[in-house]
Structures are given as C-alpha cells and as structure tokens.
Structure 1
Amino acid sequence: MPEHNEISASDLDRATALLKRITQVFDEKVVGQEALRTALTSCLLAGGHVLLESVPGLAKTTAAQTLAAAVGGEFRRIQCTPDLMPNDIVGTQIFNYASGEFSTQLGPVHANLVLLDEINRSSAKTQSAMLEAMQEKQTSIGGVNYRLPDPFMVLATQNPIEEEGTYVLPEAQMDRFLMKEVITYPTPDQELEILRRVASGQMERPVVTEPISLGDVHFLRELVDKVYVDDSVKRYVVDIINTTRMSGPRPVRDLGRHVRVGASPRGGIALMRLGQALAVQSGRGFVIPEDIRAMRYAVLRHRLVRTFDALADNVPPEQLVDAVFDAVPAP
C-alpha cells in the first residue's frame, strides 16, 4: 500500500486547524508578507533553520516574535556585533565566591526560537559557534553537553545594503540553512494598513491567548515525516540538483558560465522536506511537483555559487534557478 495512506483524514484536519490558528496570529500582527509566513511555518514544520535577507524595517523581528507566540515557544533575540563572543551566545561558567564552585549559565541560544539579528556583523568564530549549535542541537560548556530545547529553530537575518564591518557567511555555512528568504517591500495599501495599526496600538508585542502547544508542533513535524513522496518526485528533485551541477538529463547550455558550484545533496533534502511541509499546509498526504517548484528560490538561491562573470553582469540567482527548472521536465 502507498505510504501516504498512513496519514488519516482526522490527522490532516487537526493539522489544518492548527495551521489556521498560526495564520490568524500572523494576520493580526504582520501585515502582508504571506511568503514570509509560509517560509517560517514550512521551516518550522520541516525542522530546519531559515536565513532572512532584507533591508531594515520589514518585520523580520516581528514575524519571529509572532511565530514564537503562536506556538507557545520561548523566544530570544541576539543582536550580533563584531565584539560578540561565542560564550555570549552559548553560555559560560561563573565562579560563585560564596560556595567556591562554578555554576553554569546557559546562553540565549537555549530557546525554542532564536532570532540571530544581522548574523554577518558577528565574527567568524561566533558564527561558527552558532552554526555548530544549529547542526548538533546541543552546546558544550565546561566540557558538559547541554541539549537545546525541542523544537529549536534559528532565524538569522542579514542586511544586503551594508558591507562595512561585516563578515560574510561562507557558502559552506550558508548551506546549513534549510532556506533563504528574501523579503520585499509591502505594497502601498499594506503600508497604509501598517500606519493604521501603529496609530491604534495594534502593533505591540503579540499576546496570544490560546497558542498552539509545543506538543502540537511535534505532531505537525511527525505528520510531515509521514507525507508520501513518490519515487518519480524524488527523481525530479535529483534531476534538478544534478542540473545545477552542469549535468542531469538535460544540462542547461552555458550554465557553467554563471554557476561555479551547484547545489549539494543537502539542497535535494531541503526541496523534499519543504515539499512535504507544503503538502501538509495544503491538506495533502503526498507531495506533488508544484510543491517542489514553489520552494525553488528559497532552497537554491543561496546554494548556487555564482561565477565572477555572473556577479559582474548582476545575474540574479533566481534567474539561474528558473533556467534549471525550465530544463527539467516535471513528472
């Protein structure tokens, strides 16, 4: 029997109701930004981390706080600066003169949702400490390992318009983010609604009377794990990833002139996992090719290393991603 029969209609109905509550909280506190809401929700369900890029003032912090409030999770915000040390994030040992013993003070990374604001302003050493915590789901303080809360999700932001005093994330480290979402300006009507909400006091820190529980988040993640992915869809993902490496069933002509390094196998896993998360949000127990296509930019824009020619000609990564998807026939 197909694997997707494991998901019952009642489970899908429960998931739909839970996701609707998350959407309602977002709509109350964040104007527009439907793509951002979908990205954050999908990343939470898939168990990954997200890199957000935009100019200041486009509701990145508000969205992160809102997501934490919607799921009843603990939220911490870390403002990255060049003098931020790994211990400031992970935690440290403090000597108690009264008892003559060391006590451990856990850092702000020990929360369910952590906003790492302007990650490219922190030093490479601090970035590595955070990325290690993201990958291992634990921290080490004084030789003792401390598990991070479950669920655990990092939302890292970076500002693309300022380069002075920043430490650019290497491509290999960016690959550890499940997705990269680029946030755009709101429409004039949405901006007018923002002003109305600010004037009425509606934009204060979100207070959610009935958030879904962390247990509900675990249920949604387990449901995502059960979503059926047919072999034809898996082959579709593999063909896409291989096409970014200048191979695949239908290689894109002259792609090597713009792409220096294609996506890693982690990119294929991300496409499949986010496809499963989108299926649950659509009330389905199986992935369709449109789920894979819908997440193409978020998954691949930071995994394609562009050549100098592409950077000089200002060829956007989204254009290269579209060329790859256009070349690969959907099942």
Structure 2
Amino acid sequence: MRAPFQFVTASLTAATVLGLALAQGNQPVIGLITKTETNPFFVKMKEGAQKQASALGAKLMTAAGKTDGDNASQVTAIENMVAAGAKTILITPSEPKAIIPAIQKAQAQGVQVIALDSPTDPQSAVNALFATDNFKAGVLIGQYAKAAGFSGNKVAKIAMLDLSPGPLVGIARHNGFLAGFGIKGITAKTATLATAPQVVCAQDTYGDQAKGQTAMENCLQKNPDINLVYTINEPAAFGAYQALKTAGREKDVMIVSVDGGCAGVRGVQSGQIAATSQQYPLKMAALGVVAGVNYAKSGKKASGYTDTGVTLITNKAVQGVSSKDAKFGLANCWGQ
C-alpha cells in the first residue's frame, strides 16, 4: 500500500511546486481525502472524482487514511494539499470532531472544504455536505427486516455490526435501522448509538470484511441464536456471512446492509444479503468537483446539505417497503 499522501516533505517538493503553478494558472486544483483507499466505496468515489475533474479540466490530488478512523493522516493531507495550492478540499472525515481544527485552518486560508458521505460534528464546520441520508438508509433496511421476517410472533435476536466509536454516519445508520425495525423513541436527532432488548450483541467492524467476520464469530459465541444481522456496510456483511456459513447458520439468519456497491448487489442476487440500501458515491464525488471548479471560477462557495439519494435493493420485495430489484441495483451500483 502506498503512503496515505505523497506530499509529505516540509520543503517544497516538485509536486508541491507543480500544484502551486497550477493554482496560479487557469487549472483549478481540488483535493480529495477519503477514509481509506481500499474500501470499494472510496475507491469508486476516487474514480468518480477523477473522471469529473478530467472532464472539467481540473487537477485532482488524492489522499487517504491508513484505516477508517485515522484522523492524523487526514490532518496531514489537508495541510499538504493547502500547501500544494488546492482551493477546494473534499473529505470523508474519519473523526467528525477531531478533524475540525485542520478544516478551520484551511478555511482561514481561503480554502473551500466540502464533506462527502460523512458529516463533521457539527455539520456546519464544512462549507457544504454531499451525502446519503444515512438515517433513512438505516430505516429502509430496518423496515425491510421487520416486514420480511419479523412481522409476526417471531422474536428477533439482533447482532449489530457497527462502524467504530464516534463517526456520525455509523450512528445514523445504526439508529435508523432500529427505528425502521420499530424501536420507539429513536429519531434522526438521536446523538448516540441506541439499543433495544432485541439487540443481543454489538461489535465494531471498521467497515472491514475480516473484522466483520471476527465480530460475527464473537456474537455467535455470545448468543448462538442470533437470527438477524445489521451491518454498517457490505464488506462487513460478507464477513458476517462467512462466519455464519462456517457455523452452519447462513441459511437461517437474515443479513441487511448499506452501500449497494456492485459486489454487494451481487450478494443480494446470491442470497448472502437479504437487502441493502444503495447509495451513490460517484454522484457525491462529481458534485464536489463541480463545486470546486465553480468556486475557482466564480469565488462562490457551495453551502448546505445535498441529499444524494438512497434506494432499497432486494430480490424479495415486501409490501409497504419501496424497493428495486438487483437488476436495477447492478445498473446503478455506485451511481453509474
């Protein structure tokens, strides 16, 4: 794996000089900082940003944390991008509070900062946010799980395979799922991870497949009667499925997830994942780059929150929950 960011020396490297030259010319310089460079969601986001930047004649710089939650690398990336002449930085913040001082320093130097996918805490710390309504994404899979398998007398025993402590996207999806499942008193404004009697295990996965498998193994040891699994994303879902398969439980446990990536939709087709909420990182990236180019040309910054949409994908539709099938999901995975 390459270093999280290339421009790391204190002096002006050749790359930094190039960035400064571009910034002084007519080519807008835009930075993109993702949580990791291995998660398929962020890989596709980077591709979308590069495609849009090329189409609009902008220069794109990219960086990523070593792992989800790596705030230090994101701080370094912001600093180096500002030094290299970026006038707009797009970021999926790993730590919604800890990243704010670095964002404020960049903004003080005239840099527009836009969050993609994940908000800062508070959201107003950035100029704009282009993201899925993550609470709604959770609500959709919660509603689906309830209607598809637990609308009668069957008692749910739920494993929650979460993201990590802190990120608002993880809290929103987790709480949305429980609200959609019918747990009372949970809203989009609930600021901490909610729980319910039906939740018999909760583990962090950092959105990683191997960690998702370990988390599911731990949950099965704690309660082998688990019959419903919520996962923060599809890599964690595939890890959970592998653990369930090893335990001989893959056919009688429902897994629901979020992302709607191409591999995830194929998981819906194969029956590994019952339903997933599809989001559109290519759209987030494209909107961010367009906003960066507009700022470079007009001086007008983007503002507010733009909902980039979410669609429930399943091949076993249920009454009362709007959804599309896997054919639609594959045609639109990642926002293609």
Same fold by TM-score, threshold 0.5 exceeded? no
Classify the TM-score, shorter chain.
under 0.3
Larger RCO, structure (CA 8 Å, separation 6 or more):
1
Q: Would you tell me which structure has more helix in proportion to its own residues?
A: 1
The alignment's TM-score, normalised by the length of structure 2, stands at: 0.25
